[in-house]
Structure 1
Amino acid sequence: MTTRLCTICARGGSKGVPGKNVRDLHGKPLLAHTIEHARDSGAFDTIAVSSDDEHILRTAREYGVDVLVDRPLELASDVAGKPAAIAHAVREAEAATGAHFDTVVDLDVTSPLRLPSDVTAAIALLESSDADNVISAAPARRSPYFNLVELDEGGHVRLSKPLPEAVLRRQDAPRTFDMNASIYVWRRDVFLADPKVFYGRTLLYEMPEERSVDVDSELDWVIVDHLFGSREHA
């Protein structure tokens, strides 16, 4: 039987939206929405929240997570990579529970519009394949082959990824996706041996744009708040 761990990593510091992880969104802290996605999916043996902030850990306890992970400060800075923090949370959760998990899933707090069915579908995609991991993404609104540009060393604009033959319509360009920072699924042993996002066998779980807003600014918060309201009145 496959055993699964859900990690939810929530730092105390946030420059774009101060205090966002415990800020109220439609009657509950932002963090609580992701905890409920994990629980409502029915997919996990253990749910762990990792944070350097006591307020966040206290909130996680109030919403019934299984393991609270006190994240070291060196894994909670602006320059610390998230895979290292997730790996730390996995080891701490295994030490606390005595379990050895087969599948590790990280759900980002800043993606409250996902559905529990997205979580279970992403897990199923990994576990029904020989892939190393799965990441979630939404169709990109801009294409590096058509209308995404960059500046060269001389300050001149150019297409980011030109093809030998120019693409005249966006619909004719290869499909591209925006990582929506919502769901990451790994085979536990692969991940702990080399914690990262991309491997030789990484699959993509596609989510629609309306469930893929990542809260990274006040504008994002306004959009998420509006979409939540629209969902409640649908």
Structure 2
Amino acid sequence: MSSGGQGSLKETPLKVAVIPARGGSKRIPHKNIKLFAGQPIIGYSIQAAKECGLFDRIIVSTDDEEIASVARSFGAEIPFLRPKTLADDFTGTNAVVKHAINWLADEGSSVDYACCIYATAPFLKSKYLIEGYQKLVAAKSSFAFSVTGFRFPIQRALRLDSSGSVDAMFPEHIYTRSQDLEEAYHDAGQFYWGKSEAFLRDEVMFSPASVAVVLPRHLVQDIDTPQDWYEAELMFRACQSERS
């Protein structure tokens, strides 16, 4: 609103969480709502988004009515069902976030910041979502996302040929002490904060346009296969027992 020739007051930025959760998981059937340590795994992502207190809206983007029902039970919105054209094996998460931003714009809500949160991120902590937003704004970057360090120096990696013979991938570092090697990081696969225009322009995320939120290694676990799931539950229960 404006008053007495003083111009428009700056409104609080609109911040939206977008949780992609399609229904067609093949390696782990019903992956996004499968019980993980006693509750549907998507519930952990929704709860972390709610607990951080940053989001004006928490939206689950899905093409599946069963996922939608579970997400609503945890307090998320499902204002639309994702079109089938954005629910195949080749659709990237950026396209899903763009669709949500554009859908909200068509409904009259102009998003300033969006955060893509993976539905299978049970280790996600609200404090890291807050840190990500703070770093994004402070650095005036396009994106802020979670990373963690590799457990072993990548400079000491080995390659195997078809016969099983071993060779050093970086022979210049094969005798370098581990403590003298630069630490390397990888995407932790939990959340991706971004300015809405950065998502809409398809800016490159893994670039100097981004800042990182470094997570401890014990809070990071890919969950792509049944073995991953088993290991993640063991880690999760171990973390829970330490706090009890």
- The TM-score normalised by the length of structure 1 is 0.88
> Which residue pairs with 2:157 in the alignment?
147
Structure 2: tracts of 5 or more residues without a match: 1-11
Q: SS of the counterpart of 1:6?
A: strand
Tell me how far 1:27 sits from its aligned partner.
2.9
Q: Which entry has the higher C-alpha Rg, 1 or 2?
A: 2
Match of 1:105 among 112, 115, 118: 115
> Which residue pairs with 2:9 in the alignment?
none
Q: SS of the counterpart of 1:186?
A: strand
Could you tell me how far apart the structure 2 residues matched to 1:145 and 1:60 are?
Answer: 42
> Which residue pairs with 2:202 in the alignment?
194
> Which residue pairs with 2:19 in the alignment?
8
- Kept in 2, the 8 Å contact 1:146–1:173? The answer is no
Match of 2:180 among 123, 148, 172: 172
Tell me how far 1:199 sits from its aligned partner.
4.2
- Kept in 1, the 8 Å contact 2:44–2:124? The answer is no
Pairing 1:27–2:8 present:
no
Could you tell me how far apart the structure 2 residues matched to 1:176 and 1:108 are?
Answer: 23
Percent identity, aligned pairs only? 26
Could you tell me how far apart the structure 2 residues matched to 1:166 and 1:230 are?
Answer: 35
Could you tell me how far apart the structure 2 residues matched to 1:215 and 1:158 are?
Answer: 30
Q: SS of the counterpart of 1:128?
A: helix
> Which residue pairs with 2:5 in the alignment?
none
1:186 counterpart letter in structure 2 = G
Tell me how far 1:189 sits from its aligned partner.
1.2
Match of 2:229 among 208, 211, 221: 221
Aligned residues: 231
- Kept in 2, the 8 Å contact 1:69–1:93? The answer is no
Structure 1: tracts of 5 or more residues without a match: none
Could you tell me how far apart the structure 2 residues matched to 1:71 and 1:176 are?
Answer: 36
Could you tell me how far apart the structure 1 residues matched to 2:57 and 2:74 are?
Answer: 14
> Which residue pairs with 1:65 in the alignment?
76
Could you tell me how far apart the structure 1 residues matched to 2:153 and 2:94 are?
Answer: 27
1:53 counterpart letter in structure 2 = D
> Which residue pairs with 1:89 in the alignment?
100
Could you tell me how far apart the structure 1 residues matched to 2:126 and 2:205 are?
Answer: 22
Could you tell me how far apart the structure 2 residues matched to 1:51 and 1:229 are?
Answer: 28
Match of 1:134 among 130, 144, 149: 144
- Kept in 2, the 8 Å contact 1:60–1:68? The answer is no
- Kept in 1, the 8 Å contact 2:104–2:110? The answer is no
Tell me how far 1:225 sits from its aligned partner.
1.7
Closer, same or farther: CA 6–83 of 1 in aligned 2, 3 Å: same
> Which residue pairs with 1:209 in the alignment?
217
Q: SS of the counterpart of 1:68?
A: coil
Could you tell me how far apart the structure 1 residues matched to 2:160 and 2:186 are?
Answer: 17
The worse-fitting range, judged by mean Cα deviation, of 3-12 and 208-217 is 208-217
Could you tell me how far apart the structure 1 residues matched to 2:166 and 2:119 are?
Answer: 36
- Kept in 2, the 8 Å contact 1:84–1:195? The answer is no
Tell me how far 1:228 sits from its aligned partner.
2.7
- Kept in 1, the 8 Å contact 2:71–2:77? The answer is no
Tell me how far 1:232 sits from its aligned partner.
3.0
Could you tell me how far apart the structure 2 residues matched to 1:151 and 1:179 are?
Answer: 27
Could you tell me how far apart the structure 1 residues matched to 2:70 and 2:158 are?
Answer: 41
